[in-house]
């Protein structure tokens, strides 16, 4: 399959930031799939207006809020069926340095089998609780993969090879909410997909809208790490053989 990328942008009530995100993405000439994840009426109307004004934008709509993972996976499946080879996931809240889109796509074209994962470079705007909390997830991901291959499993700026991702989605149930980004990249790593980490700036805009629920999402992430740690145990021999082959290479 030839290299044919698209952008996937999950959106839940981010109507105020989506116009700016699309304006920054327009120069790259890559089709964008915006997934309205059950947003309220003001965002629905704004997204419809943007899709009418931007012929390179395709608007998908879910009838009710299913979570970030549900929105991204819905678009991934459709994009793969329509012949796209890669999907570059971008958040709708304006945190990502979208000037790095060409770097992500160039790296994916060079290594079409790999997940190109953003490794955030934060400025002073990052909430300290969010920053320090990530290190606990990093620790568990390194255990679950028996490697340091995944520098940051929570960054939503990453490019997926759709053939490998679609194969994973067919055989495995992936979480649909904030634990999605972590579990899917761990399972793709287990399936043999290389993970290449690309440094990229991340800024938390003043007054930005976050849907992270500290109680519920942290509970989901804790249960997910328990599930992944148990799932890692029967994979230990294969993961160790992989480490040995890579060390020899």
State yes or no: pLDDT of 89 exceeds 70.
Answer: yes
- Kindly state the DSSP code that residue 96 receives in the 8-state scheme: B
Residue-level pLDDT at 142: 94
| pLDDT tens per residue across span 124-166 | 777 666 666 778 899 999 999 999 999 999 999 999 999 999 9
Evaluate if residue 211 carries a pLDDT over 60.
no
Q: How confident is the model at residue 208 (pLDDT cuts 50, 70, 90)?
A: low
Q: Please report the pLDDT score of residue 1 as a whole number.
A: 66
**pLDDT for residue 4:** 98
How many alpha carbons lie under 13 Å from residue 226 in its C-beta half-sphere?
A: 6
The residues near 203 (Cβ < 8 Å, ≥ 6 apart) are 95, 97, 123, 125
Domains and CATH numbers, the chain: 5-248 (3.90.550.10)
pTM attached to this predicted model: 0.90
pLDDT digits (tens, 9 = 90+) for 61-83: 999 998 999 999 999 999 999 99
Q: Are 40 and 14 in contact (CB under 8 A)?
A: no
Length of the chain: 249
Cα 66 to chain centroid distance, Å, stands at 16
SS3 percent helix, strand, coil of the chain, rounded to 5, is 50, 20, 30
Sign of CA dihedral 65, 67, 72, 77: negative
Q: How confident is the model at residue 215 (pLDDT cuts 50, 70, 90)?
A: low
Which residues make beta-bridge pairs with 37? Answer: 62
Helices (H), the chain: 15-25, 41-53, 68-81, 101-110, 128-145, 162-171, 180-190, 214-232, 236-248
Burial class of residue 95, CB neighbours in 10 A (0-12, 13-18, 19+): buried
Q: In the predicted model, what is the mean pLDDT of the chain? A: 91
Percent of the chain with pLDDT over 70: 92
């Amino acid at each position: 399959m030839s290299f044919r990328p698209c952008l996937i942008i999950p959106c839940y009530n981010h109507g105020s930031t989506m116009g700016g995100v699309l304006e920054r993405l327009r120069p790259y000439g890559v089709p964008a799939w915006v997934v309205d994840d059950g947003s309220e009426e003001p965002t629905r109307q704004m997204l419809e207006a943007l899709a009418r004004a931007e012929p390179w934008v395709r608007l998908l709509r879910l009838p009710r809020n299913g979570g970030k993972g549900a929105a991204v996976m819905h678009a991934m499946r459709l994009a793969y069926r329509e012949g796209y080879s890669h999907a570059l996931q971008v958040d709708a809240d304006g945190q990502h340095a979208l000037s790095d889109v060409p770097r992500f796509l160039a790296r994916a074209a060079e290594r079409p089998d790999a997940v190109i994962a953003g490794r955030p470079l934060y400025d002073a705007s990052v909430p300290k609780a969010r920053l320090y909390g990530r290190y606990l997830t990093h620790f568990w991901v390194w255990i679950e993969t028996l490697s340091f291959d995944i520098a940051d499993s929570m960054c939503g700026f990453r490019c997926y090879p759709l053939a490998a991702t679609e194969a994973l989605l067919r055989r495995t149930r992936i979480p649909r909410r904030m634990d999605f980004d972590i579990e899917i990249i761990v399972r793709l790593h287990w399936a043999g997909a290389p993970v290449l980490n690309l440094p990229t700036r991340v800024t938390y805009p003043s007054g930005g809208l976050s849907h992270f629920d500290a109680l519920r999402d942290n509970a989901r992430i804790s249960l997910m790490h328990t599930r992944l740690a148990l799932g890692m145990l029967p994979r230990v021999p294969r993961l160790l053989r992989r480490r040995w082959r890579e060390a020899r290479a």
